[in-house]
Every structure is written in structure tokens, then in C-alpha cells.
Structure 1
Amino acid sequence: MTTITDIEIEDCDFSNPEHLNGICDLLNAYIRDQMGGGTPLNKLQQLRLVDGLNNHPTAIVLLALAGERPVGMLVAFENFSTFTVRPMVNIHDLIVLPEFRGLGVGRKLMEAIEIRARGKGCSRITLEVRHDNVKAQTLYVSLDFQEADPPMYYWRKNL
């Protein structure tokens, strides 16, 4: 049985086929999850995904590995805060395979992104979470994240 001490966090190596396959497998697992609610990526979309992340100038992709197997992933992007006049990091995805949930994998990924953000001199880390994803909210609160003051909404316009 895998324990949290068996999990290592690494920056994605875009020259490693296991990492690239892991990105796609993890994202598709997340999309199929009740919190994802979408259609899994086809092979062409998967190629575009890993190429897009590899070539995005501010992408940060962290993988949680159980041995060589990717079992969790955090995708974030560095941005710039005009209010703090410093860089910031926005977490876009936090994914842990269902059979590895509850072991602290998400916590290790979150702690790793905080270390990287502090190292870059970032003023904050932001994320969005579904109002019905209580497990994720519990993790974020335990790591000192809190709802924005004043509360914010996440709005979008699909194009």
C-alpha cells in the first residue's frame, strides 16, 4: 500500500513520456470525476495540452509520483498583481486520482506550489473551488486559504 512518504513531488519533465502520459491521464480522470463533469480529451487534444503547457511561458506543472506513476497534478500559472505590484500564482487544477485521495497528496502538491511561489517573490496564491466541493475546501482552509474579503464570484463568458 502506498503511503504519503512514498509520494514525491516533481516539476513536470516535458521530455519524459511518462510525465506527458500522466498529465493526460490525470486530466481525463478529473474530467470524468463528478467535480469535472466534462468530456475526456481525445488524442489530438492531449497532444495540444502537453504542447500548450510546455510552451506557455508562465505554466507551472507539478506531478505527485508514486514510484514512477503520476497520481496527482497541480497546474498553475504565474501572473502579476497590480494591487500588490508583485507576481502571483493562480492554481488552475489540482487533481488526485481517487484511489490516492485522503493520503495527503493534494496537501503535498499545495505545499510545493507555495514554496515555489514564495521563491519567486509572489504576493499571493489564488484558486477557485466549486461551492459543492467540500473536501477541497477543507484542504484549502487547513492550508490557511480563505474566501476573499469581500467575497468574489468567478464569472465567465464562453466563446
Structure 2
Amino acid sequence: MDTVETPLVIDVRDVRYGDPADAAALVELLDAYARDPMGGGEPLSAYAREHLAAELSRRPSAFSVIAWVRRDGEEHAAGLVNCLEGFSTFACRPLVNVHDVAVRSEYRGLGIARRMLARVEALARARGACKLTLEVLSGNGSAIALYRRAGFADYAIDLQAGTARFMQKWLDPRDA
């Protein structure tokens, strides 16, 4: 007897930080990403787990989307993108930094990240943003390929000057 597999339904929705289900999914997905080697391999701190949704809700520049996967009447949080609005002084317009892109390992390869990035682009355009920015580890080839397919390119003003480098300086060693 052949079994018929129910198709997945993927729904990308804007996160409502004050909604307990959205807040829990946000933390769950970001913690799974943090535990992944590309996210650093360490779980979120207890402080981040407890305060993340509330802190994001206090920032009008922050927005997030979650991809929900539905099959056989059950819905699961499958992917997350967190974004923070910045400002381009050269363009004198907002820009949107795609800060976290995460898809749970069991849902990778289904086009979820592509769908979430499309939603983020629509939200950025609605905000009047001139561009999307993101950082990606140079060893994360699958993410780099995804971002290139989505239209991202290395940042360069003039190729003679080279491409931009992402750098950091921790202000509090407890945050490192």
C-alpha cells in the first residue's frame, strides 16, 4: 500500500513580539541558530532567552519574520529572520540590516530562507529603505550562494579600494 504524503504549507508571517506564541518561536529558533556551528555553537544566554522579544518590541527599528510550516494540521516554526533598520547617510534614506537568518536543519532546502528574504525585502521597500545589508561567515558557502541568488553582492564602492570587511569590538566582555 502506497502512503500519500501531505504537502507542506509554508507561511511567512511578521512577528508580533508581544504575542506569546510568536515570542516563544522567536527565542526557540534563535537559540537553535546560536547552537549551530554557523551561529557560534553556544546556546543563548538565560538573559537573552528571557528578554529578547520584549527588547526587540521596544525598538521601532526592529522587525522579524517567521516561516511556519504546516502539515497534517500541525504548525511548526521553521525559520526566522531578524532585521534592524539603520540609515544610509549617502542615500539619506533608511536601510535594513538582515541581522539573523536561520532555518531549522530539518526544513533546509525547501526554499524557506528565500521566501523569508522576499518578505523582508517587501517590508524594507515599504519602509522606504534604499538597500538591504547582511553579514555572512566566509565559510558558510550555502548561505552565500542563497544570498547571491537573492541579489546580494559583496559591498564595494570601487573595486580598486576592495570590498568591505565586517569588524567588531565588544564593549563588555560578558557579551562576547
Query: Shorter-chain TM-score category?
Result: over 0.9
TM-score, normalised via structure 1 length: 0.93
1:87 aligns with 2:94: yes
Q: Which runs of 5+ in 2 are unaligned?
A: 157-161, 172-176
Partner of 1:134: 141
Match of 2:52 among 49, 52, 60: 49
Query: Structure 1, residues 104-157: CA drift from partner, whole Å, max 9, x if none?
Result: 000001010111111221110000000000000000100111001140001111
Match of 2:165 among 131, 141, 153: 153
Partner of 1:28: 31
AA aligned opposite 1:8:
D
C-alpha RMSD of the superposition: 1.6
Partner of 2:14: 11
Equivalenced residues, count: 158
Query: Structure 1, residues 62-120: CA drift from partner, whole Å, max 9, x if none?
Result: 11111332110100011111010111100100010000000000000101011111122
Whole-Å separation in 1 of the counterparts to 2:81 and 2:141:
18
Whole-Å separation in 1 of the counterparts to 2:135 and 2:80:
16
Whole-Å separation in 2 of the counterparts to 1:2 and 1:121:
39
Q: Which moved more, 1:5-14 or 1:106-115?
A: 5-14
Q: Which moved more, 1:10-19 or 1:47-56?
A: 10-19
When Rg is computed on C-alpha atoms for both structures, the one with the higher figure is 2
Runs of 4+, deviation exceeding 3 Å: none
Q: Do the aligned residues in 1 keep the contact of 2:18 with 2:57 (CA within 8 Å)?
A: no
TM-score, normalised via structure 2 length: 0.84
AA aligned opposite 1:152:
A
Q: For 1:105-124, list aligned pairs within 5 A.
A: 105-124=112-131
CA shift, 1:43, in A, is 4.0
Q: Do the aligned residues in 2 keep the contact of 1:2 with 1:66 (CA within 8 Å)?
A: no
